[in-house]
Amino acid sequence: MYLPTPILLLLLAASFHAEVLAVKLPFHVIHPTEDAQDAGLARRSGPVSAFTKRTAPPDAPQRRNLHAKRLAHERRRALQKFGRDPLAAETPNKHQDRATKPAKRTTANIPISNTGNAQYISNITIGGVTARVLLDTGSSDLWISFPGDQPDATDLGKSVSLAYAVGNAQGDIYSADAQFGNFSISQQVFLNVKDTSSFSSDIHGQGYDGLLGIGPNEGSSIMDEIDPDDDDHSADTTLARIFAENTTESNYITFLLDRKNSPSTPFSGQLTIGELVPMFANITDMPKLDVETVHKLLEEEQHWQALTDKDNGIMGPDGTVIKYDSIVPKAPDGQLVAVFDSGFTFSQVPRDVSDSIYGRVKNAVYDSKSEYWTIPCGQELNISFNFGGHNYPVHPLDTVDDNFGISNAAGDRVCIGSFQPITTAFSLLGNYDMIMGMSFLRNVYTLMDFGDWVPTSSNDRGHPFMQLLSVTDAAAAHQDFVTKRLDGVDTTGTDQWQLLPESEKQASPVSDEEKKKQYQEMVLSRWPYILVGCLAAVIIVVGLIIWRCCCRRRGTGKGAGFFGVGMSRGPPKENADSVTSEYLKLREQNNSQYSVNDAHASQYSANNMSTYSMHKQ
């Protein structure tokens, strides 16, 4: 059948929009080869990834996607989650002055183990069985594959399949009593993954059994399946359950990620719930970064995210500002949207930003297959980020990563630029600009206040926020770099390590997939205008068709008009009386003729509609 062009455009645009919404935010972890024995893992000839995003050579670290986001939420639930408590509106301060001091409840200082600066793992006990889980601020579900004894748990009769790049975390949803740190949780829901054969490598051999998402409820696929309207909160996330069962004035966590083999790191990795690490208690003096007003494509895509400072969000290795315009439609001018995600080994930044950091390094090479820069390990690069009016320097051992034993074509060892060009689909589609992963988070002590994201909280009804406290001293970091990379001899000022002029900066090539996503982002950003234009065109076409039909019913078919509509007149006035009866008979005859035509047209339309329906299916 024939469909007007505007209708076809509308259908195609709607189909494309639905495809875009199906894109999920990935969660990447890279497995190092260094210090594998210290972590109790078998040494391998190269880093092995269970959740790689793309095919890479065996001697290259691979990214992993461990982040399964839900695609759509009930509108009712979205209103429940993001509605504001009337009492909160009475406080002029958006975040209120709620206390962020150690809470009067069960304390929790949970150790975090570090595997080669690439994995941060804690223990959780489910149904009497202890499991090792990756900590991920970028997701919200708890899933575990128990390598030995099965927990004492109740099968809830529901199942979920979380799709990843190299396999599925598929299993049944159970509930069991849980213990996380010193916190007891009654009947915590989790996904029991009994078969991990779909993954490309043994996750247990890599040092963990599952993943604990510590993001907000809005990201939980398990809760969508068990309690989509969140009526009884039985399927809330692990942290939401802890906050609900241990009433506190403030629902917050803090975490430190330590750096392996760093002489100036005076702390070990740890996660706290409702209390502060004493040596960094002054974090409460830092500005509260809003995490909700940042643009979101979907309400359920809420992340721990914040805006960089205006016009100076990123400082490059030469001490100048790296300027870049945000691709997020509603981001303020001069500011970038950053997501804080402990599931990313390497931070993800816009391609131009990554090129500005590494493209001026002598002998730098961009690896198009693995999509990262490789540079000489002795190259010290000092960069920093600005949030809330404060500067956060990045340790040069984090900017240039040496945990993976990578060699160039000549066989010389090279390091990886850990601020990679971002290829995450949701970023390229304009939902955020960059992801601050482990390479950044090791340089800050982080506080995340859930506020009214916890649906059962009776006291903490303010807006969620973040606070960051720098733990990297630039002078001490420089000395660390000289000790670890230059054998204690400071040659950083020699010509060998000087950056190339800006005119000689290299630019990394854009992949075909990225070009496709950029095109989709361009179309998506114009989606409202496309929709309005298509609807207007449809209305105009339908209006013209109706007008034509009306004119044909009134006319005699004589004369020429727009769309062939007859413009003939009635009989002359002086002869009207003599031809009145004949004129009326002619109209009756015409009406009868059009009635027959209309019947055929109705049958034709019905046939066409049937054909269209079959094509749509």
CA 528 to chain centre: 22
Question: What confidence category does residue 327 fall into, taking pLDDT thresholds of 50, 70 and 90?
Answer: confident
Strands (E), 300-455: 305-307, 314-315, 337-340, 347-349, 365-367, 372-375, 384-387, 390-393, 400-407, 413-417, 419-421, 434-436, 444-449
Report the predicted TM-score, pTM, of the whole model to 2 decimal places.
0.72
With cut-offs at 50, 70 and 90, classify the pLDDT of residue 202: confident
Residue where the block lists tokens 């509308």: 10
- Please state which of the ranges 94-103, 229-238, 269-278 shows the lowest mean pLDDT: 94-103
**Do 374 and 414 contact (CB within 8 A), yes or no?**
yes
Residue 371 phi, psi dihedral angles, 5° rounding: 60, 55
Give the 3-state secondary structure of residue 281.
Answer: helix
Question: SS3 of 396, please?
Answer: helix
- Distance between CA atoms of 453 and 436, rounded to whole angstroms? 22
What's at 176, amino acid-wise? A
- pLDDT score of 580: 47
Write down the pLDDT at residue 160: 93
Given a cut of 60, is residue 110 above it in pLDDT? yes
Question: d(Cα 538, Cα 527) in Å, to the nearest integer?
Answer: 16
Q: What is the DSSP string of 50-94?
A: SSBSS---TTS---B------S---HHHHHHHHPPPHHHHT-SST
Using alpha carbons, select from 347, 295, 218, 297 the residue that is nearest to residue 520.
Answer: 297
Res 430 pLDDT > 80: no
20/523 Cα distance (integer angstroms): 10
Residue 272 has pLDDT above 90, yes or no: yes
- Report d(CA 500, CA 365) in Å as an integer: 14
Rounded to an integer, the average pLDDT of 594-605 is: 40
Instruction: Quote the CA–CA distance of 395 and 143 in Å, as a whole number.
Output: 33
Q: Specify whether the CB–CB gap between 348 and 417 falls below 8 A.
A: no
**The pLDDT value given to residue 164:** 57
Q: Between the ranges 423-427, 574-578, 582-586, where is the mean pLDDT highest? A: 423-427
CB atoms within 10 A of CB 450: 25
Q: What is the pLDDT of residue 426?
A: 59
> Does the 5-528 domain belong in CATH 2.40.70.10?
yes
Check residue 461 and give its pLDDT.
67
Grade residue 413 by pLDDT with cuts at 50, 70 and 90.
Answer: very high
pLDDT digits (tens, 9 = 90+) for 41-93: 222 233 333 333 332 333 434 333 343 333 333 333 333 333 333 333 333 34
Angle CA(484)–CA(488)–CA(490) in degrees, nearest 5?
Answer: 105
Residues, the chain, total? 617
How far is 118 from 30, CA to CA, in rounded Å?
A: 6
**CA 464 – CA 292 distance, rounded (Å):** 7
How is 350-386 classified by DSSP, letter by letter?
Answer: -HHHHHHHHTTSTT-EEETTTTEEEE-TT-----EEE
Q: How far is CA 116 from CA 200, 261, 343, in A?
A: 21, 9, 14
Mean pLDDT of 270-298: 87
CB 259 within 8 A of CB 398: yes
The confidence score (pLDDT) of residue 473 equals 96
Q: What are phi and psi of 490, to 5 degrees?
A: -80, 100
Residue 334 has pLDDT above 70, yes or no: yes
Band (pLDDT 50/70/90 cuts) for residue 365 is: very high
Residue 458 DSSP class: S
Q: What is the mean pLDDT of the chain?
A: 76
CB 289 within 8 A of CB 306: yes
CA quadruple 457, 460, 466, 467: dihedral, nearest 10 = -140
Residues 172-187, mean pLDDT to the nearest whole number = 95
pLDDT tens for each residue of 228-243? 776 778 889 999 999 8
Beta strands 119-126 and 154-164: pairing type?
A: unpaired
Give me the torsion for CA of 405, 411, 412, 417, rounded to 10°. Answer: -50
> Can you read off the two tokens belonging to residue 2?
């024939």
Rounded to 5°, angle at Cα 296 from 289 and 430: 105
What are the residue ranges spanned by the domains of the chain?
5-528, 529-616
Element (H, E) at 170: strand 167-180
Cβ–Cβ under 8 Å, residues 155 and 226 = no
At residue 8, the 3 state secondary structure works out as: helix
Q: CB burial class (10 A; 0-12, 13-18, 19+) of residue 7?
A: middle
What pLDDT is attached to residue 615? 35
Please tell me the distance from the alpha carbon of residue 284 to that of residue 567, in angstroms, as a whole number: 80
Q: How far apart are alpha carbons 262 and 401 in whole angstroms?
A: 12
Structure tokens at 313: 């969000």
Least confident of 232-236, 309-313, 492-496, 585-589: 585-589
pLDDT bucket at 446, cuts 50 / 70 / 90 = very high
**Is 209's pLDDT higher than 70?**
yes
The HSE-up count of residue 459 (CA atoms within 13 Å, CB side) is 15
Q: Is the pLDDT of residue 40 over 50?
A: no
In sequence order, the β-bridge partners of residue 497 are: none
Segment 85-105 shows an average pLDDT of: 41
pLDDT tens for residues 129-167? 999 999 999 889 999 999 999 999 999 999 998 765 556
Q: Report which of residues 210 and 565 the model is more confident about.
A: 210
Tokens at 330, concatenated: 């509603």
Label residue 214 by pLDDT band (50, 70, 90): very high
Phi, psi of 403 (to 5 degrees): -85, 0
Q: Give all strands (DSSP E) within 198-278, no chain letters.
A: 210-213, 252-256, 270-273
Residue type, position 417, single letter: G
